[in-house]
Chain A
């Protein structure tokens, strides 16, 4: 129980989670009896076909939605709502369009009452980390998709969350850009030592990024498979994508998803 050596990253425990959305007389159950644990500092991907409840699961962990049954704990404490300990990155970026890049990144600091000079200084650190120098005074509409997602990531990282929840963050970007942002994300993950829960429908993305892949499927959604991915992540992309562990993981995720689709 040495506080000094504990990472600035959180654990997530999901127990027997069920989520039913009210729609008219009978509700739609998106998730049923789902349990999973994420360790501190771990990079976990949740992969599954659309409609398997993976985004719903992420929004439940974020605290935007309240579960019908079951519990979610972050660092042992039950989730009662959203909070700055869990930073979320959306596929649609969800930047504040009326704020410049800098103002988007300082938003969370403003809400925490950080003094103005300090806000700017801290924001600039993350703007530089994301390679956004020179774009501080642009509005979101003036940015490309890739830049918007970098701003969204900077906006979330600046409030120093323990857990990063990412909902298909690179889903709207084309292949080369997606790969470069994936590598950037891995660099950042190593540097800031956060727990990352990364939702995607892309098998390659899940296998490439994560230490562990959780395959969701079914209707309502449950955990179909869990795969540890044993890859040396200090290596280059070209080495990773030719590694047996990467290809074995890809094959296994794909098989699980296909078996589910055929069923």
Chain B
């Protein structure tokens, strides 16, 4: 269960309670919007910081023109591929480490060593290997999201309740089947947590990679508008991308509560 759900469930129920809760949740965003608008209109000036109302209008125009959608789909495709690869690799690695001492010893050092390396620093190297384009973005997303998925999966798979394993054993589950019947289902929540942590990373790393190593995508679009001095449009793209990232996180949270209804 996400932390937000846990907090919400302790609040008084009923329609009024839910409306109040929703208002409270969106309040900080509202305050930021008001401050932003005031700052831009009365202090900094629209050239440096376009007012939020203008950004929303521009973002809507961009959407209607449709060009941005091409860039967005390129970006989302890269995230989807990079993240999928990292989920597959991370889950295999995490469970492997939890199950086999040798795998754990081998990758433990490697992960600890690479943990603190900013994955965006690998962009130039990735360009060297894969050139400018999708390959580089995907590789950097993969590397940037692998660690949270491995670590969460490993922690989940290595802390499966002993009594659950014994229960399965006593009911006739062989050592070979235990992984599929007990360890994997018991680890699903940890895997989901890992992916939930990885999603924001994937968007951050994507933009960094696309700014340097791509001729398409949202990162490239942001940088292009910035270099042209077209800050209105640049802000609009950032705004749209934030919305998409926010929606992705929301969709994934929904997915978790429907797949892991038993949690």
Which residues of A come within 8 Å of B, CB atoms? 59, 62, 64, 81-84, 86-88, 90, 92, 94-100, 107-108, 111-112, 139-141, 155-156, 159
Contact = CB atoms under 8 A, between A and B. Distances in A.
Interface stretch (B11-19, B165-173, B196-204): B165-173
A88 B167 contact: yes
B170 A62 contact: yes
B251 interface: no
Given A83-B172, A84-B171, 12 more contacts: A64-B170, A82-B166, A83-B170, A88-B170, A90-B163, A94-B161, A94-B163, A96-B185, A98-B188, A108-B171, A139-B262, A155-B171
B186 A98 contact: yes
Q: Is the interface of B mostly helix, strand, loop or mixed?
A: helix
B166 A62 contact: yes
B167 A96 contact: yes
Interface in B102-161: 161
B44 interface: no
Task: Give the interface size class of chain B.
Answer: 20 to 34
B5 interface: no
Considering residues A97, A140, A155, which has the most beta carbons from chain B within 10 angstroms of its beta carbon?
Answer: A97
Nearest to B166: A64
A87 to B, nearest CB: 6
A56 B74 CA distance: 59
Given A139-B261, A139-B262, A94 B164 contact: yes
Nearest to B161: A94
B191 to A, nearest CB: 13
Interface in B165-220: 166-173, 177, 181-182, 185-186, 188
A92 B170 contact: no
A64 B168 CA distance: 11
Contacts of B181: 111
Interface of B: 161, 163-164, 166-173, 177, 181-182, 185-186, 188, 260-263
Given A88-B166, A90-B167, A139-B261, A98 B185 contact: yes
Contacts of B177: 111
Contacts of A108: 171-172
Contacts of A83: 170, 172
7 contacts: A94-B164, A94-B166, A96-B164, A96-B182, A99-B262, A111-B177, A139-B262
B170 A97 contact: no
A111 B172 CA distance: 6
Q: Nearest 8 CB-CB pairs, A to B?
A: A108-B171, A111-B172, A94-B163, A139-B262, A98-B185, A94-B167, A82-B169, A84-B172
Contacts of B262: 97-100, 139-141
Nearest to A112: B172
Nearest to A141: B262
A159 B186 contact: no
B172 A92 contact: no
Contacts of A81: 169
Contacts of B163: 90, 92, 94
